[in-house]
Amino acid sequence: MVTQSILPLRLEGACVRRNASVTIGPIDLELSAEGFTIVIGPNGAGKTTLLRMMHGMERLNAGAVTWAVPEVEARERQAFVFQVPVMMRRSVLENVAYPLRLHGWSRRKALDAAGTWLERIGLGDAAERMAPVLSGGERQKLALARALIRKPEILFLDEPCASLDGRAMREIEALLIEAHAEGTRIVMSTHDMGQARRLASDVLFVHRGAIEEAAPAEVFFKQAATRTARAFLRGDIVE
């Protein structure tokens, strides 16, 4: 028996307010079960807050975020990679194994599974090192492995390659494509238009706390519908 997917995710009038001004909202959006969604927009537009809102890390001031299954179930089948990944003060291997341990896996089994993942992402040699001494690129790879190790149905990433060099970026993108091919729904924000073009199946353009445009990738990049989106793609400063 196939368990029901947690998707589609529906946002209805969802709003997050911080201090008096609205950070983001109201958002009306349906996230389908398939796809590699890229979220783009100028700084301060609300991309990070949108992702966190979808993941359930922000308290809503209005509206609702609804999964296809009860929320307690949905929470267990997602993962998030933060822009600045949290390195737990333990070894690389233990970091990646942690989500499995939370789930009751035995220490031996969890470390074995983590070890396999580390080989897969190219951090095999670093397994015994303390996570906080890793470089930026290595940290993001660790965070990605840690996020994927429980085979989540949906993976959110907040500008994961923001401070990485070309080689690290290539490795991360390859991993994401692999994960997507294996069935993980991906929603990722980025500043890099080249990356967006490479990876996106559909695009969400966020501007001033609202989703100004949502379209399939080919459509959006060939001819964006809104003026601000077009200006943004051109490289103009969009306020």
Partner 1 sequence: MNEILQGLLEAGRLIVAFDADLIEISLRSLHVTLTAVLVAATIGIPLGAWLAVKRFRHRRAAIATLNALMGLPPVVVGLIVYLMLSRSGPFGVFGLLFTPTAMIIAQVIILTPLVASIAHQAMREMWAEYHDLLISLNTTRSQRIRALVWDGRRALLTAALAGFGRGIGEVGAIMIVGGNIDHATRVLTTAIALETGKGEFALALALGFVLIGLAIAVNWFIHTLSRTEVSGRW
**Shortest separation between residue 142's beta carbon and partner 1, angstroms:** 12
Alpha-carbon gap, residue 105 to 121, rounded angstroms: 22
Check residue 167 for interaction with partner 1 (CB under 8 A). no
Question: Of 42, 46, 99, 209, which one interacts with partner 1 (CB under 8 A)?
Answer: 99
- The reply on whether position 80 binds partner 1 by CB under 8 A is yes
Site string for partner 1, 111-140 (x = CB under 8 A): ------------------xx----------
222 touching partner 1, by CB under 8 A:
no
62 binds partner 1 (CB under 8 A): no
Angle subtended by helix axes 92-102 and 136-148, to nearest 10? 20
Stretch that binds partner 1, among 75-83, 114-122, 167-175, 210-218 (CB under 8 A): 75-83
**141 lies in the site for partner 1, by CB under 8 A:** no
CB 26 within 8 A of CB 15: yes
Residue 211, classed as helix, strand or coil, is strand
Total number of residues that touch partner 1 (CB under 8 A)? 16
Between helix 166-181 and helix 136-148 the angle, nearest 10°, is 10
Binding flag, residue 75, partner 1 (CB under 8 A): yes
Largest interatomic CA distance in the chain? 56
Q: Shortest CA distance to 64 belongs to which of 13, 23, 16? A: 13
Residue 18 phi, psi dihedral angles, 5° rounding = -125, 130
Provide the binding-site residues for partner 1, judged by CB under 8 A: 55, 57, 75-76, 79-80, 82, 86, 88-90, 98-99, 102, 129-130
